[in-house]
Amino acid sequence: MGIPARKFGGLVLTLAVNTAAMALGLLLAMLCVKHSLERSDTVMLVAVYFILLKLALIVALALLFSCFTTPLLAILFTVGLYIAGLYVQELRNLPIEVMSPGMSAFTKWLSYLLPNFENFNVMAMAAHGRAVPGALILQNTLYTMVYCAIVLTAAAAVFSRRNLK
Amino acid sequence: MKSERTIPWLLLLVVPLGFEGIWRLQHRIDAQRASIGEERDEVLLRSGKLVKAMSLEYAPLLADIYWTRVVQYYGNKHLRGQANLELLWPLLDITTTLDPNLVIAYRFGAMFLSPAAPGGAGRPDLAVQLIQRGIQANPEYWRLYEDLGFVYYFDLKDYQKASAAFLEGSRKPNALVWMKIMAAKVAAEGESLETSLFLWKDIYDSTADPSVKKNALMHLQLLTVKEDCKRLDALADEFAKRFGKPPIRMNDLAQAGLIRGIPRDPLGFPYVFSEGGKAELNLDSPLLEKELMFDRFKKTLP
């Protein structure tokens, strides 16, 4: 796995520090506005954790693209995948009655192949202080780990074939 | 060198296994999110006027986006079989405030709002309010009067108001001639099978929306079933008078010469007699499920 994995680890750590700092800022802002924090506010930390998971996935994808293309194209590919990943659910909700069975199977297959960033969206729940189920936290963590493992292995495979001399 | 050779092999192993895991995990995440999905419905900005002010000169464009949201909201709820459509009105309110000339929002919005669950939100009062708002903004569009009459006729059972709406609509430019006939017929007879069939048939013929068409067709089929069962019950009474016992099978009516062949529902399934001697849909008929679903919602709603 080598260099891409180490680079990924470093970037995720940096992002973790950034996210933690921003979460702290948000907590302080909430404290200023509400003068106290409630137990239900902890759901905000879950939302922040999900944002970190999402960022880790984006970093892994960006690393993969940066292994075989120019920085500009890597950015464009990553942004494209991010936007596509936000609408995976819509892909599944396409009116299958009007599509051929082949097309319907393809869109379903594609919806599982693309990273599903909607999995990490618990903003409405955090805003209303509703608890996020523990199972969802575990599943999203596993999802990110498995997806990142696939992407980083692909990145390592591409990177190992590059001639850096 | 060794790692260079192992990585492609590792990739061959990791990709299929990894995506197999992703597939399973995504199914579980979907199930988990579906269980909390009901809580995720939110319309954060409920003031149409505020949204209009924020949209600058792009209010009609934003209205189209909100209308798409209405359709998606209704469609998703319909697909999941959820009866709670409480956000339908705020979304329609914003849509029509942003663009008062978006006629489709009044027409289909009323169809989503008015019928009782599972077909709609069960709020004919709001449907009337929505159409009246549409009429105010588009006074020459006769189809809105037809929709208003439709809501009064089917959901509010206010035949005088339904007749008045049809009559008012008949005076508008390009209104079809049957509007005037319908006004007279509804005023004279109230609810009748013939009128109901005509109205649903008109909806079926005039809409291009597949879900509305499907809904109209289902109502047409259920109305036919209702009429068929009524006719068969009358024949069963006749049979009981003649032979001193109620018919057990449809074949009994045929053998007594009261009907020719075994009567079938619109989907081709033969009708049967219940233990109480009443004609009803065959257990195998898909229409039975629809009929029971409507009955169940009628019973659970206040």
- Put simply, the answer to whether B29 touches A146 (Cβ < 8 Å) is no
Cα–Cα nearest to B123, from B135, B111, B134, B132: B111
- Of the pLDDT bands very low, low, confident and very high (cuts 50, 70, 90), residue A41 is confident
Give the model confidence (pLDDT) of A107-151 as tens digits. Answer: 888 888 999 998 898 877 787 677 888 999 999 999 999 999 999
Helix/strand/coil for B266? coil
pLDDT(B284) > 90? no
From chain A, the residues in CB contact with B11 under 8 A are: 153-154, 156-157
Q: Rounded to an integer, what distance in angstroms lies between the CA atom of residue B110 and that of residue B124? A: 8
Pick the CATH number of B44-199 from 1.10.246.90, 1.25.40.10, 1.10.150.120, 1.10.3720.10: 1.25.40.10
Q: Rounded to an integer, what distance in angstroms lies between the CA atom of residue B271 and that of residue B281? A: 5
How do the domains of chain B map onto residue ranges? 44-199, 216-300
Across chain B, what does the average pLDDT equal?
Answer: 83
Mutate to test the interface with B, among A1, A57, A139 (most CBs of B within 10 A): A139
Give the model confidence (pLDDT) of B159-184 as tens digits. Answer: 889 989 998 998 898 888 788 878 87
CB B228 within 8 A of CB B263: yes
- Put simply, the answer to whether B36 touches A125 (Cβ < 8 Å) is yes
For residues B64-90, average pLDDT: 83
Give the model confidence (pLDDT) of B224-239 as tens digits. Answer: 888 889 889 999 888 8
Radius of gyration of chain A (CA): 19
Work out the burial of residue B182: count CB atoms within 10 Å of its CB; fewer than 13 is exposed, 13-18 middle, 19 or more buried: buried
- Of the pLDDT bands very low, low, confident and very high (cuts 50, 70, 90), residue A89 is confident
Picking from B14, B28, B75, the nearest residue to A150 by CB comes out as B14
Give the model confidence (pLDDT) of B113-132 as tens digits. Answer: 988 877 788 899 999 999 99
Supply the angle between the helices B103-113 and B124-137 in degrees, to the nearest 10: 170
State how far residue B266 is from chain A, nearest Cα, in angstroms: 22
- Put simply, the answer to whether A139 touches B19 (Cβ < 8 Å) is no
Pairing relationship of beta strands B272-273 and B279-280 according to DSSP bridges? antiparallel
Residue pairs spanning A and B at CB distance below 8 A: 79
Can you tell me the ipTM of this complex?
0.82
Q: Is A119 on the interface with B (CB under 8 A)?
A: yes
B189, HSE (Cβ side, Cα atoms, 13 Å): 12
Higher pLDDT, residue B83 or B122: B122
* Residue-level pLDDT at B247: 87
* Residue-level pLDDT at B117: 75
Q: Is A87 on the interface with B (CB under 8 A)?
A: no
Range list of H helices, A35-133: 42-66, 71-86, 88-92, 101-113, 123-127
Q: Which two tokens stand for residue B270?
A: 């033969």
* Nearest chain A residue to B9, by CA: A157
pLDDT(B294) > 70? no
pTM of the model: 0.53
Higher pLDDT, residue A125 or A70: A70
